[in-house]
A and B are shown apart, each in its own frame.
Chain A
Amino acid sequence: MKELNKTDVIVVGGGPAGISCAITIARGGKKVVLIERGAFAGSKNVFGGAIYTQPTKEIFPDFETTAPLERHNTEHKFLILGENDSTSISYKNKIGGSYTVIRGNFDRWMAEKAKETGVYLVEKTVVRELIQENGRVIGVKTELENYFADVVILADGVNSLLAKQIGLRKDFEPKDVALSVKEVLKLDTGKINERFNLSDNEGCIHEIFGGPMLGMLGLGFMYTNKDTITIGLGLTLSELAERGLKPYEVLEDLKSHPTIAPLIKDAVLEEYSAHLIPEGGYKKVPKLVSDGVLIVGDAGMLVNNLHWEGTNLAMLSGKYAGETVLEAYNQNDFTEKTLKRYEEKLKNSFVMKDLKTYKDLMDIAHKKSDSFMDYYLRTINSFFEMFTTVDSVPKREKYLSFIKKFLQDRGIKGLFSDLWNGIKLVWSILWH
Protein backbone atom coordinates (compact mmCIF):
# COMPACT_ATOMS: atom_id res chain seq x y z
CA MET A 1 0.00 0.00 0.00
CA LYS A 2 2.84 2.34 0.82
CA GLU A 3 4.22 2.09 -2.70
CA LEU A 4 1.25 3.98 -4.13
CA ASN A 5 1.58 7.75 -4.07
CA LYS A 6 5.32 7.43 -3.67
CA THR A 7 7.80 9.78 -5.27
CA ASP A 8 11.44 10.62 -4.69
CA VAL A 9 11.08 14.04 -3.03
CA ILE A 10 8.14 16.07 -1.79
CA VAL A 11 8.56 19.83 -1.39
CA VAL A 12 5.91 21.56 0.69
CA GLY A 13 5.38 25.16 -0.41
CA GLY A 14 5.62 26.76 -3.85
CA GLY A 15 7.51 29.89 -2.90
CA PRO A 16 11.04 30.94 -3.91
CA ALA A 17 12.63 28.41 -1.53
CA GLY A 18 10.41 25.49 -2.49
CA ILE A 19 10.61 26.12 -6.22
CA SER A 20 14.40 26.58 -6.17
CA CYS A 21 14.80 23.34 -4.25
CA ALA A 22 12.42 21.42 -6.52
CA ILE A 23 14.11 22.70 -9.69
CA THR A 24 17.56 21.77 -8.39
CA ILE A 25 16.43 18.24 -7.62
CA ALA A 26 14.58 17.82 -10.93
CA ARG A 27 17.64 19.03 -12.82
CA GLY A 28 19.55 16.30 -11.04
CA GLY A 29 17.21 13.70 -12.50
CA LYS A 30 15.02 12.90 -9.49
CA LYS A 31 11.21 12.98 -9.29
CA VAL A 32 9.80 15.89 -7.29
CA VAL A 33 6.27 16.68 -6.24
CA LEU A 34 5.81 20.33 -5.25
CA ILE A 35 2.70 20.92 -3.14
CA GLU A 36 1.30 24.46 -2.94
CA ARG A 37 -1.75 25.36 -0.84
CA GLY A 38 -2.71 28.40 -2.92
CA ALA A 39 -4.59 28.53 -6.21
CA PHE A 40 -1.26 29.22 -7.92
CA ALA A 41 2.34 29.70 -6.80
CA GLY A 42 2.52 33.16 -5.23
CA SER A 43 -1.18 33.45 -4.41
CA LYS A 44 -0.53 33.08 -0.68
CA ASN A 45 2.80 34.88 -0.72
CA VAL A 46 3.73 38.50 -0.01
CA PHE A 47 7.01 40.41 -0.08
CA GLY A 48 8.35 43.97 -0.65
CA GLY A 49 10.08 43.97 -2.97
CA ALA A 50 13.02 43.35 -5.08
CA ILE A 51 14.97 40.29 -6.16
CA TYR A 52 18.73 40.36 -6.40
CA THR A 53 20.27 39.60 -9.77
CA GLN A 54 23.23 37.48 -8.74
CA PRO A 55 21.52 34.93 -6.47
CA THR A 56 18.52 34.67 -8.80
CA LYS A 57 20.88 33.88 -11.70
CA GLU A 58 22.16 30.88 -9.75
CA ILE A 59 18.78 29.24 -10.11
CA PHE A 60 17.49 30.92 -13.27
CA PRO A 61 20.51 31.94 -15.37
CA ASP A 62 18.48 33.72 -18.05
CA PHE A 63 15.80 35.30 -15.87
CA GLU A 64 16.75 38.82 -16.90
CA THR A 65 15.45 38.21 -20.40
CA THR A 66 12.63 35.77 -19.72
CA ALA A 67 11.07 36.54 -16.33
CA PRO A 68 8.28 39.07 -15.71
CA LEU A 69 10.28 41.90 -14.14
CA GLU A 70 9.05 45.35 -13.17
CA ARG A 71 11.91 47.85 -12.97
CA HIS A 72 15.67 47.55 -12.76
CA ASN A 73 16.72 49.29 -9.57
CA THR A 74 19.33 51.93 -10.19
CA GLU A 75 18.76 53.93 -7.04
CA HIS A 76 18.60 53.11 -3.35
CA LYS A 77 17.21 55.89 -1.17
CA PHE A 78 17.26 56.12 2.62
CA LEU A 79 14.62 58.42 4.08
CA ILE A 80 14.78 59.53 7.69
CA LEU A 81 11.38 60.95 8.51
CA GLY A 82 10.79 63.31 11.40
CA GLU A 83 7.25 64.14 12.39
CA ASN A 84 6.80 66.44 9.41
CA ASP A 85 10.23 66.81 7.91
CA SER A 86 12.78 64.43 6.43
CA THR A 87 16.41 63.93 5.50
CA SER A 88 17.27 61.66 2.60
CA ILE A 89 20.39 60.02 1.26
CA SER A 90 20.33 58.47 -2.15
CA TYR A 91 22.78 56.15 -3.88
CA LYS A 92 22.47 55.95 -7.64
CA ASN A 93 24.24 53.52 -9.91
CA LYS A 94 23.24 52.71 -13.48
CA ILE A 95 24.50 49.15 -13.06
CA GLY A 96 22.09 48.24 -10.27
CA GLY A 97 21.86 44.72 -8.85
CA SER A 98 18.16 44.08 -8.38
CA TYR A 99 14.74 44.17 -9.99
CA THR A 100 11.32 44.89 -8.53
CA VAL A 101 8.86 42.10 -9.23
CA ILE A 102 5.22 41.34 -8.50
CA ARG A 103 5.08 38.12 -6.47
CA GLY A 104 1.97 36.77 -8.13
CA ASN A 105 3.56 37.04 -11.57
CA PHE A 106 7.12 36.11 -10.69
CA ASP A 107 6.30 33.06 -8.58
CA ARG A 108 4.00 31.76 -11.29
CA TRP A 109 6.81 32.17 -13.81
CA MET A 110 9.22 30.31 -11.50
CA ALA A 111 6.65 27.54 -11.09
CA GLU A 112 6.33 27.20 -14.89
CA LYS A 113 10.11 26.89 -15.13
CA ALA A 114 9.96 24.20 -12.48
CA LYS A 115 7.32 22.31 -14.42
CA GLU A 116 9.48 22.54 -17.54
CA THR A 117 12.27 20.71 -15.72
CA GLY A 118 9.85 17.97 -14.75
CA VAL A 119 8.65 19.09 -11.32
CA TYR A 120 5.11 17.85 -10.66
CA LEU A 121 3.17 20.81 -9.25
CA VAL A 122 0.08 20.21 -7.14
CA GLU A 123 -1.88 23.34 -6.25
CA LYS A 124 -4.82 24.14 -3.93
CA THR A 125 -3.61 21.41 -1.58
CA VAL A 126 -2.70 21.87 2.06
CA VAL A 127 -0.26 19.51 3.73
CA ARG A 128 -1.84 19.06 7.14
CA GLU A 129 0.68 16.74 8.74
CA LEU A 130 3.98 15.03 8.22
CA ILE A 131 4.00 11.25 8.38
CA GLN A 132 6.75 9.76 10.49
CA GLU A 133 7.99 6.25 11.07
CA ASN A 134 10.48 5.59 13.86
CA GLY A 135 11.23 9.29 14.06
CA ARG A 136 11.91 9.61 10.35
CA VAL A 137 9.74 11.68 8.04
CA ILE A 138 8.49 9.45 5.26
CA GLY A 139 5.65 11.43 3.76
CA VAL A 140 2.88 13.98 4.04
CA LYS A 141 -0.83 13.93 4.78
CA THR A 142 -2.97 16.29 2.75
CA GLU A 143 -6.71 16.79 3.00
CA LEU A 144 -7.21 14.16 0.34
CA GLU A 145 -4.44 11.59 0.43
CA ASN A 146 -1.14 10.54 1.89
CA TYR A 147 1.98 10.88 -0.25
CA PHE A 148 5.30 9.23 0.50
CA ALA A 149 8.86 10.18 -0.36
CA ASP A 150 12.49 9.54 0.49
CA VAL A 151 12.86 13.11 1.67
CA VAL A 152 10.41 15.89 2.48
CA ILE A 153 11.49 19.52 2.18
CA LEU A 154 9.66 22.05 4.34
CA ALA A 155 9.38 25.29 2.37
CA ASP A 156 6.08 26.19 3.98
CA GLY A 157 6.91 29.73 4.93
CA VAL A 158 7.23 31.87 8.03
CA ASN A 159 4.56 30.04 10.07
CA SER A 160 5.82 26.53 9.27
CA LEU A 161 3.32 24.51 11.25
CA LEU A 162 4.97 21.36 9.94
CA ALA A 163 8.38 22.16 11.41
CA LYS A 164 6.59 22.80 14.69
CA GLN A 165 4.72 19.51 14.45
CA ILE A 166 7.88 17.42 14.44
CA GLY A 167 9.56 19.52 17.10
CA LEU A 168 12.21 21.19 14.95
CA ARG A 169 11.01 24.62 15.87
CA LYS A 170 8.90 26.38 18.46
CA ASP A 171 6.39 29.06 17.65
CA PHE A 172 7.48 32.71 17.54
CA GLU A 173 7.58 35.04 20.48
CA PRO A 174 6.08 38.38 19.44
CA LYS A 175 9.47 40.08 19.66
CA ASP A 176 11.01 37.73 17.08
CA VAL A 177 8.65 38.41 14.22
CA ALA A 178 7.46 41.50 12.36
CA LEU A 179 4.04 42.07 10.88
CA SER A 180 4.13 43.80 7.55
CA VAL A 181 1.23 45.46 5.73
CA LYS A 182 1.55 46.76 2.23
CA GLU A 183 -0.39 48.38 -0.56
CA VAL A 184 0.16 48.29 -4.29
CA LEU A 185 -1.02 51.57 -5.78
CA LYS A 186 -1.71 52.15 -9.45
CA LEU A 187 0.04 55.17 -10.90
CA ASP A 188 0.69 56.05 -14.52
CA THR A 189 4.20 55.04 -15.70
CA GLY A 190 4.92 58.58 -16.89
CA LYS A 191 3.97 60.02 -13.50
CA ILE A 192 6.20 57.51 -11.73
CA ASN A 193 9.11 58.45 -14.00
CA GLU A 194 8.49 62.12 -13.34
CA ARG A 195 8.01 62.01 -9.58
CA PHE A 196 10.89 59.65 -8.91
CA ASN A 197 13.17 60.97 -11.64
CA LEU A 198 13.49 57.67 -13.42
CA SER A 199 13.41 56.56 -17.00
CA ASP A 200 11.13 53.77 -18.15
CA ASN A 201 13.08 50.78 -16.97
CA GLU A 202 14.70 52.34 -13.92
CA GLY A 203 13.54 51.88 -10.37
CA CYS A 204 14.25 53.19 -6.90
CA ILE A 205 14.17 51.26 -3.63
CA HIS A 206 13.16 53.42 -0.67
CA GLU A 207 14.03 52.49 2.90
CA ILE A 208 12.03 54.59 5.33
CA PHE A 209 12.95 55.19 8.95
CA GLY A 210 10.91 57.08 11.52
CA GLY A 211 7.81 59.06 10.70
CA PRO A 212 4.87 57.25 12.32
CA MET A 213 7.33 54.56 13.42
CA LEU A 214 9.51 56.90 15.49
CA GLY A 215 10.49 55.16 18.70
CA MET A 216 9.46 51.75 17.45
CA LEU A 217 11.20 48.85 15.85
CA GLY A 218 9.89 49.23 12.37
CA LEU A 219 10.83 50.16 8.85
CA GLY A 220 8.90 51.43 5.89
CA PHE A 221 9.49 50.53 2.29
CA MET A 222 8.51 51.89 -1.09
CA TYR A 223 9.26 50.36 -4.47
CA THR A 224 8.62 51.55 -7.99
CA ASN A 225 7.09 49.04 -10.39
CA LYS A 226 6.23 49.55 -14.06
CA ASP A 227 2.92 51.24 -13.43
CA THR A 228 2.36 50.72 -9.74
CA ILE A 229 4.01 51.84 -6.50
CA THR A 230 4.39 49.49 -3.57
CA ILE A 231 4.35 51.09 -0.14
CA GLY A 232 4.35 49.32 3.17
CA LEU A 233 5.92 48.89 6.55
CA GLY A 234 6.95 46.18 8.96
CA LEU A 235 6.71 46.54 12.73
CA THR A 236 7.88 44.08 15.32
CA LEU A 237 4.78 42.28 16.57
CA SER A 238 5.54 42.93 20.24
CA GLU A 239 5.61 46.68 19.54
CA LEU A 240 2.25 46.60 17.78
CA ALA A 241 0.69 44.50 20.53
CA GLU A 242 2.09 46.49 23.45
CA ARG A 243 1.08 49.82 21.97
CA GLY A 244 -2.34 48.66 20.78
CA LEU A 245 -1.59 49.91 17.28
CA LYS A 246 -3.40 48.86 14.15
CA PRO A 247 -0.86 48.21 11.39
CA TYR A 248 -3.05 49.62 8.61
CA GLU A 249 -3.49 52.87 10.55
CA VAL A 250 0.26 53.26 10.91
CA LEU A 251 0.53 52.74 7.15
CA GLU A 252 -2.07 55.44 6.55
CA ASP A 253 0.02 57.79 8.69
CA LEU A 254 3.09 56.95 6.62
CA LYS A 255 1.22 57.59 3.39
CA SER A 256 0.11 61.00 4.60
CA HIS A 257 3.56 62.15 5.75
CA PRO A 258 4.43 65.41 3.94
CA THR A 259 7.45 63.80 2.24
CA ILE A 260 5.60 60.69 1.08
CA ALA A 261 2.14 62.00 0.20
CA PRO A 262 3.12 63.95 -2.94
CA LEU A 263 4.88 60.89 -4.35
CA ILE A 264 1.71 58.78 -4.24
CA LYS A 265 -0.86 61.50 -4.90
CA ASP A 266 -3.86 60.28 -6.90
CA ALA A 267 -2.53 56.73 -6.96
CA VAL A 268 -5.32 54.17 -6.68
CA LEU A 269 -5.19 51.14 -4.40
CA GLU A 270 -4.94 47.92 -6.38
CA GLU A 271 -4.24 45.44 -3.62
CA TYR A 272 -3.74 45.43 0.15
CA SER A 273 -1.84 42.59 1.79
CA ALA A 274 -0.12 41.48 4.97
CA HIS A 275 2.50 38.92 5.98
CA LEU A 276 4.87 38.04 8.79
CA ILE A 277 8.65 38.40 8.56
CA PRO A 278 10.97 36.36 10.79
CA GLU A 279 13.15 38.64 12.92
CA GLY A 280 14.86 36.35 15.38
CA GLY A 281 18.02 36.09 13.30
CA TYR A 282 20.89 33.69 13.88
CA LYS A 283 20.01 32.89 17.49
CA LYS A 284 16.53 31.74 16.60
CA VAL A 285 17.26 29.67 13.48
CA PRO A 286 15.69 26.28 14.23
CA LYS A 287 17.13 22.84 13.66
CA LEU A 288 17.07 22.65 9.89
CA VAL A 289 17.68 18.94 9.41
CA SER A 290 16.32 15.68 10.73
CA ASP A 291 15.87 12.16 9.41
CA GLY A 292 14.10 12.46 6.09
CA VAL A 293 13.46 16.19 6.29
CA LEU A 294 15.07 19.56 5.53
CA ILE A 295 13.84 23.11 6.18
CA VAL A 296 14.42 25.97 3.72
CA GLY A 297 13.55 29.64 3.39
CA ASP A 298 11.35 31.55 5.84
CA ALA A 299 10.33 28.26 7.44
CA GLY A 300 13.93 28.11 8.67
CA MET A 301 13.82 31.80 9.64
CA LEU A 302 16.54 32.55 7.11
CA VAL A 303 16.01 36.29 6.84
CA ASN A 304 18.56 39.10 7.07
CA ASN A 305 16.40 41.89 8.46
CA LEU A 306 18.85 44.75 8.16
CA HIS A 307 19.36 44.19 4.45
CA TRP A 308 15.85 43.01 3.62
CA GLU A 309 17.19 39.76 2.29
CA GLY A 310 14.70 36.94 2.50
CA THR A 311 13.87 35.95 -1.04
CA ASN A 312 17.48 35.45 -2.11
CA LEU A 313 18.28 33.49 1.06
CA ALA A 314 15.19 31.40 0.40
CA MET A 315 16.29 30.61 -3.15
CA LEU A 316 19.84 29.78 -2.19
CA SER A 317 18.84 27.64 0.78
CA GLY A 318 16.48 25.81 -1.57
CA LYS A 319 19.35 25.22 -3.96
CA TYR A 320 21.68 23.95 -1.21
CA ALA A 321 18.97 21.67 0.11
CA GLY A 322 18.38 20.34 -3.39
CA GLU A 323 22.09 19.68 -3.89
CA THR A 324 22.25 17.90 -0.54
CA VAL A 325 19.33 15.67 -1.47
CA LEU A 326 21.01 14.69 -4.76
CA GLU A 327 24.17 13.85 -2.81
CA ALA A 328 22.07 11.80 -0.41
CA TYR A 329 20.78 9.76 -3.37
CA ASN A 330 24.34 8.88 -4.29
CA GLN A 331 24.77 7.39 -0.85
CA ASN A 332 21.19 6.13 -0.59
CA ASP A 333 21.07 7.60 2.90
CA PHE A 334 18.41 10.10 3.92
CA THR A 335 19.11 10.25 7.60
CA GLU A 336 20.22 13.35 9.42
CA LYS A 337 23.80 12.16 9.21
CA THR A 338 23.93 12.70 5.44
CA LEU A 339 21.40 15.49 5.17
CA LYS A 340 23.42 17.52 7.65
CA ARG A 341 25.56 18.57 4.70
CA TYR A 342 22.85 21.11 3.98
CA GLU A 343 23.69 22.94 7.19
CA GLU A 344 27.37 22.89 6.28
CA LYS A 345 26.65 24.37 2.88
CA LEU A 346 24.67 27.14 4.55
CA LYS A 347 27.39 27.75 7.13
CA ASN A 348 30.06 28.05 4.45
CA SER A 349 28.02 30.49 2.38
CA PHE A 350 27.14 34.11 2.95
CA VAL A 351 23.67 32.94 4.00
CA MET A 352 24.64 31.77 7.47
CA LYS A 353 27.70 34.00 7.64
CA ASP A 354 25.57 37.13 7.26
CA LEU A 355 22.99 35.91 9.75
CA LYS A 356 25.82 35.31 12.21
CA THR A 357 27.30 38.74 11.53
CA TYR A 358 24.08 40.40 12.58
CA LYS A 359 23.21 38.02 15.40
CA ASP A 360 23.20 40.73 18.06
CA LEU A 361 21.50 43.38 15.97
CA MET A 362 17.91 42.70 17.03
CA ASP A 363 18.74 42.46 20.74
CA ILE A 364 20.56 45.80 20.68
CA ALA A 365 17.86 47.37 18.49
CA HIS A 366 15.17 46.26 20.96
CA LYS A 367 17.12 47.72 23.85
CA LYS A 368 17.91 50.95 22.10
CA SER A 369 14.84 51.67 20.00
CA ASP A 370 14.13 54.84 21.96
CA SER A 371 17.44 56.33 20.93
CA PHE A 372 18.51 54.75 17.65
CA MET A 373 15.00 54.65 16.22
CA ASP A 374 13.73 57.89 17.67
CA TYR A 375 16.05 60.42 19.22
CA TYR A 376 18.83 60.19 16.66
CA LEU A 377 16.42 60.20 13.74
CA ARG A 378 14.85 63.39 15.09
CA THR A 379 18.28 64.85 15.79
CA ILE A 380 19.41 64.33 12.21
CA ASN A 381 16.41 66.29 11.04
CA SER A 382 16.89 68.97 13.70
CA PHE A 383 20.48 69.39 12.61
CA PHE A 384 19.57 70.02 9.01
CA GLU A 385 16.70 72.22 10.02
CA MET A 386 19.13 74.34 12.01
CA PHE A 387 21.75 74.27 9.27
CA THR A 388 19.40 75.35 6.52
CA THR A 389 17.41 77.95 8.42
CA VAL A 390 18.47 81.49 7.76
CA ASP A 391 17.29 83.94 10.37
CA SER A 392 18.85 86.57 12.49
CA VAL A 393 20.43 84.12 14.91
CA PRO A 394 24.22 84.02 14.46
CA LYS A 395 25.57 80.64 13.28
CA ARG A 396 27.85 80.05 16.24
CA GLU A 397 24.93 80.52 18.59
CA LYS A 398 22.90 78.04 16.59
CA TYR A 399 25.65 75.41 16.78
CA LEU A 400 26.24 75.91 20.48
CA SER A 401 22.57 75.79 21.34
CA PHE A 402 22.14 72.67 19.17
CA ILE A 403 24.97 70.91 20.97
CA LYS A 404 23.70 72.05 24.36
CA LYS A 405 20.23 70.71 23.61
CA PHE A 406 21.70 67.46 22.33
CA LEU A 407 23.69 66.89 25.53
CA GLN A 408 20.82 67.92 27.79
CA ASP A 409 18.06 65.96 26.10
CA ARG A 410 19.99 62.76 25.99
CA GLY A 411 21.96 63.27 29.18
CA ILE A 412 25.55 62.19 29.70
CA LYS A 413 24.48 58.77 30.92
CA GLY A 414 22.21 58.30 27.91
CA LEU A 415 24.90 59.34 25.47
CA PHE A 416 27.42 56.98 26.99
CA SER A 417 24.95 54.13 26.86
CA ASP A 418 24.22 54.93 23.21
CA LEU A 419 27.91 55.10 22.37
CA TRP A 420 28.63 51.88 24.24
CA ASN A 421 25.83 50.01 22.51
CA GLY A 422 26.87 51.45 19.16
CA ILE A 423 30.39 50.16 19.71
CA LYS A 424 29.05 46.79 20.86
CA LEU A 425 26.98 46.56 17.71
CA VAL A 426 29.83 47.44 15.38
CA TRP A 427 32.12 45.06 17.26
CA SER A 428 29.62 42.22 16.94
CA ILE A 429 29.29 42.87 13.22
CA LEU A 430 33.02 42.97 12.53
CA TRP A 431 34.17 40.20 14.87
CA HIS A 432 32.54 36.97 16.07
Chain B
Amino acid sequence: MALEDKLYTLKYTPDTTSHLKPDMNDCKRCDKRACTTVCPAKVYEWQNDNMTVNFENCLECGACRIVCPYKSLKWEYPKGTKGVTFKLG
Protein backbone atom coordinates (compact mmCIF):
# COMPACT_ATOMS: atom_id res chain seq x y z
CA MET B 1 0.00 0.00 0.00
CA ALA B 2 1.40 3.38 -0.97
CA LEU B 3 2.05 5.97 1.73
CA GLU B 4 -0.48 8.32 0.14
CA ASP B 5 -3.22 5.75 0.75
CA LYS B 6 -2.18 5.42 4.40
CA LEU B 7 -2.24 9.19 4.91
CA TYR B 8 -5.69 9.20 3.38
CA THR B 9 -7.02 7.44 6.50
CA LEU B 10 -6.20 10.50 8.59
CA LYS B 11 -8.21 13.61 9.22
CA TYR B 12 -6.31 16.76 8.29
CA THR B 13 -7.30 20.40 8.68
CA PRO B 14 -4.50 22.09 6.75
CA ASP B 15 -3.45 25.65 7.34
CA THR B 16 -2.47 27.95 4.50
CA THR B 17 1.07 28.45 5.77
CA SER B 18 3.59 25.89 6.87
CA HIS B 19 4.32 25.29 10.55
CA LEU B 20 7.60 23.69 9.45
CA LYS B 21 10.33 26.11 8.36
CA PRO B 22 13.62 24.51 7.26
CA ASP B 23 16.56 26.77 6.51
CA MET B 24 16.97 26.36 2.74
CA ASN B 25 20.59 27.47 2.83
CA ASP B 26 21.41 24.58 5.14
CA CYS B 27 19.16 22.17 3.20
CA LYS B 28 20.97 22.91 -0.06
CA ARG B 29 24.36 22.04 1.40
CA CYS B 30 23.10 19.06 3.42
CA ASP B 31 24.36 15.76 2.06
CA LYS B 32 22.51 13.29 4.33
CA ARG B 33 19.01 14.80 3.98
CA ALA B 34 17.77 12.39 6.64
CA CYS B 35 14.50 14.29 7.02
CA THR B 36 13.42 13.06 3.58
CA THR B 37 13.60 9.38 4.57
CA VAL B 38 12.86 9.51 8.26
CA CYS B 39 9.60 11.46 7.97
CA PRO B 40 6.64 9.08 8.38
CA ALA B 41 4.55 11.28 6.09
CA LYS B 42 7.09 12.11 3.37
CA VAL B 43 6.72 15.81 4.06
CA TYR B 44 10.14 16.69 2.64
CA GLU B 45 10.73 15.96 -1.04
CA TRP B 46 13.52 17.00 -3.36
CA GLN B 47 13.07 17.67 -7.05
CA ASN B 48 16.37 18.70 -8.67
CA ASP B 49 17.59 21.57 -6.51
CA ASN B 50 14.36 22.36 -4.80
CA MET B 51 12.82 20.96 -1.66
CA THR B 52 9.07 21.01 -1.17
CA VAL B 53 7.57 20.92 2.31
CA ASN B 54 4.25 19.07 2.17
CA PHE B 55 3.33 20.38 5.60
CA GLU B 56 -0.34 19.46 5.05
CA ASN B 57 0.63 15.80 5.54
CA CYS B 58 2.61 16.36 8.71
CA LEU B 59 1.90 13.98 11.59
CA GLU B 60 3.53 16.41 14.03
CA CYS B 61 5.92 13.79 15.41
CA GLY B 62 9.10 15.91 15.55
CA ALA B 63 11.52 13.45 13.93
CA CYS B 64 12.63 15.94 11.27
CA ARG B 65 13.60 18.58 13.80
CA ILE B 66 15.76 16.08 15.65
CA VAL B 67 17.60 14.54 12.69
CA CYS B 68 18.44 17.86 11.05
CA PRO B 69 22.26 17.99 11.34
CA TYR B 70 22.26 21.80 11.40
CA LYS B 71 19.46 21.98 13.98
CA SER B 72 18.06 24.74 11.83
CA LEU B 73 14.59 23.38 11.17
CA LYS B 74 12.15 25.73 12.83
CA TRP B 75 9.57 23.37 14.21
CA GLU B 76 6.34 24.47 15.81
CA TYR B 77 2.98 22.90 16.38
CA PRO B 78 0.35 24.02 13.87
CA LYS B 79 -2.34 26.43 15.06
CA GLY B 80 -4.81 25.02 17.55
CA THR B 81 -7.53 24.35 14.99
CA LYS B 82 -5.18 23.00 12.33
CA GLY B 83 -3.10 19.97 11.54
CA VAL B 84 -3.71 16.27 11.94
CA THR B 85 -6.40 14.64 14.07
CA PHE B 86 -5.95 11.03 15.16
CA LYS B 87 -9.40 9.52 15.55
CA LEU B 88 -7.94 6.36 16.98
CA GLY B 89 -4.32 7.13 17.88
Contact = CB atoms under 8 A, between A and B. Distances in A.
Interface string A256-288: 000000000000011111111000000000000
B51 interface: no
A114 B15 CA distance: 30
A241 B87 CA distance: 29
Interface in A362-376: none
A271 B79 contact: no
A43 B89 contact: yes
Contacts of B67: 174, 237, 241
A246 interface: yes
Contacts of A38: 85
Given A44-B60, A143-B79, A271 B37 contact: no
B38 to A, nearest CB: 5
B9 A171 contact: no
Contacts of A161: 76-77
Interface centre among B7, B10, B78, B87 (most CB of A within 10 A): B87
Interface in B56-89: 59-63, 65-67, 71, 76-81, 83-89
A179 B37 contact: no
A271 B87 contact: yes
Interface residues of A, number: 51
Interface string A126-158: 101000000000000011000000000000001
B80 A124 contact: yes
B86 A46 contact: yes
Nearest to A181: B40
A45 B62 CA distance: 13
A252 interface: yes
Contacts of B66: 171-174, 177, 237, 276
Contacts of B53: none
B45 to A, nearest CB: 12
B89 A45 contact: yes
A270 B89 contact: no
A184 B88 contact: yes
Given A237-B63, A241-B34, A272-B7, A43 B86 contact: yes
Given A126-B77, A126-B80, A272-B9, A248 B86 contact: no
Main secondary structure of the interface of A (DSSP, over half): mixed
Contact of A179 (B1, B40, B78, B79): B40
A36 to B, nearest CB: 9
Contact of A248 (B34, B40, B89): B40
A272 B6 contact: yes
Interface centre among A159, A177, A270 (most CB of B within 10 A): A159
A172 B64 CA distance: 11
Contacts of A173: 66
A7 interface: no
Nearest to A142: B80
Given A174-B67, A245-B37, A44 B61 contact: no
A125 B78 CA distance: 10
A247 interface: yes
Interface string A177-213: 1010101100000000000000000000000000000
14 contacts: A37-B77, A38-B85, A44-B60, A104-B89, A126-B77, A126-B80, A142-B80, A158-B62, A161-B76, A173-B66, A237-B63, A246-B42, A272-B7, A276-B66
Interface of B: 1, 3, 5-7, 9-10, 32, 34, 37-38, 40-42, 59-63, 65-67, 71, 76-81, 83-89
Given A128-B76, A252-B1, 4 more contacts: A143-B80, A241-B34, A270-B88, A272-B10
